[in-house]
Structure formats: structure tokens, C-alpha cells
Amino acid sequence: MSLRLGDIAPDFTANTTEGPIHFHEWLGNSWGMIFSHPADFTPVCTTELGRTAQLSDEFAKRGVKVIAVSVDPIDQHHEWVKDINEVNNTTVNFPLIADENREVATLYDMIHPNASEKATVRSVFIIGPDKKIKLTLTYPASTGRNFFEILRVIDSLQLTATYSVATPADWQEGEDVIVTPAVSNDQLEEKFPKGVTFVKPYLRKTPQPNK
């Protein structure tokens, strides 16, 4: 059965480029991103891992731990990391899981038989401090992931985890947000002292609360 939003992210132990980990213990109370790659030494993945490394400060300031997974062995991972660093002029500073037995890939339903019976698809899971899955994304092998979009979604998830708001289409950090329907009009002044604009009775906007 595929994982759904709100499910507890499966725990596992694995060997990584930074040594053995116990996933839930490694994650601790942080947010996390686990993302899969069909195989080592693949062109699109080389750019993706490099871009993630280049954005390490962005993930860090959001308190997000990053971990990647590929079904190739650990010695091959270490060799691939050298290429990633060279091609992208960066330093990979997050662990890469060696999932030779496809245990993690199976737990996270990263193998789609219609796409490939052996290799993982490009899956992304964002996991909250409560270990629950907050976001799932799946890309085809030919399409590189947009990590600015992933960061944008993390900003939205972290904002809406704290405040009674949602984010509208194409929202960016610092823009107005939407008051959730669970908040009654009588509560608006107390919860949103910056003010609320009624676009429609069911569509109420307010400045981003933490800005």
C-alpha cells in the first residue's frame, strides 16, 4: 500500500555515506526530506544532488535534515559523490543511503513497476517533527526536480503548522495568506491583529503572521 499524507514515515536502519543510521533517531525532532534516485552515475540525479548541496544553507535555516537514497552499493556512492562535487562545484554534506536490497525503496513505495521493475522513481517525502508525512512528490526519470518549489512548500508547511492559515496558489514567503475556514469571524481580531481582508465570505486574506 502506498504511503499517504499523515502516515507515520516508515522507520529503518541503513548504511549511508556518513555511516549507519536509524532513521527516526537520525531525524530527531527535525523536519526531514528523503528523496530517491534511480541509480548512481545518472545525469539528471547528478545535477539534483548537487543542487541540494548548493542549497544546504536554505534547508538548514528551515531546520530540515536531508537524506538521499539510491539502490547502488556504498563504495559506488562514494565514487559518485566525487563526480557530484566536481560537476556542481559543491560539497555533498548529507547522507546517501545504500539501498542495495531495496528495503527503503519498498517501504516508501519508490519502485513503480510500470516505470521500472528495478530502479526507483524520483520520489520526495517531506516529514514533520512528529514523523508524519507532510508532502509526497513523484517525478519521472527524465525530469529534474525543482528544489526551489520544494523549499517553497516547506515554508508553507512550517507556516501552516503554527498558524491557522493556508497559502494560496503560487504563494511565496512574505506574501498574504488565507485564513482557514476553522477560524470564525469572531476570532479574527484576536488571531490576526494585522487585519483581515474579505475577498469572499469564504476567502479571507491576512498578512503572513510571522513577518
CATH of the domain at 167: 3.30.1020.10
Catalytic residue flag (residue 150): no
**Helical spans, DSSP H, in the chain:** 23-27, 43-54, 56-61, 74-88, 103-107, 147-162, 188-191
Amino acid 171 reads: W
CATH number for position 37:
3.40.30.10
Looking at 45, 92, 104, 126, which residue is catalytic? 45
pLDDT tens per residue across span 142-171 = 889 999 999 999 999 999 999 999 999 999
17 and 89 in one domain? yes
What local confidence, expressed as pLDDT, does residue 79 receive? 96
What order of strands is seen across the sheet that includes strand 96-98? 96-98, 64-70, 31-37, 122-127, 133-139
Decide which of 136, 154, 172 is a domain's last residue.
154
Domain that holds residue 19: 13-154
196 and 97 in one domain? no
What local confidence, expressed as pLDDT, does residue 109 receive? 84
pLDDT tens per residue across span 7-23 = 999 999 999 999 999 99
56 and 150 in one domain? yes
What local confidence, expressed as pLDDT, does residue 115 receive? 47
Tell me the three cell numbers of residue 193: 491583529
Q: Which residues of the chain have pLDDT under 50?
A: 115, 117
Residue of 176, 170, 178, 172 whose CA lies nearest to 202: 178
181 and 135 in one domain? no
91 and 194 in one domain? no
What local confidence, expressed as pLDDT, does residue 38 receive? 82
65 and 41 in one domain? yes
Residue pair 138/121 in contact (Cβ under 8 Å)? The answer is yes
What local confidence, expressed as pLDDT, does residue 141 receive? 78
Cα gap 20→4, rounded to integer Å: 27
Total number of domains constituting the chain = 2
What local confidence, expressed as pLDDT, does residue 156 receive? 98
102 and 193 in one domain? no
Cα gap 69→36, rounded to integer Å: 5
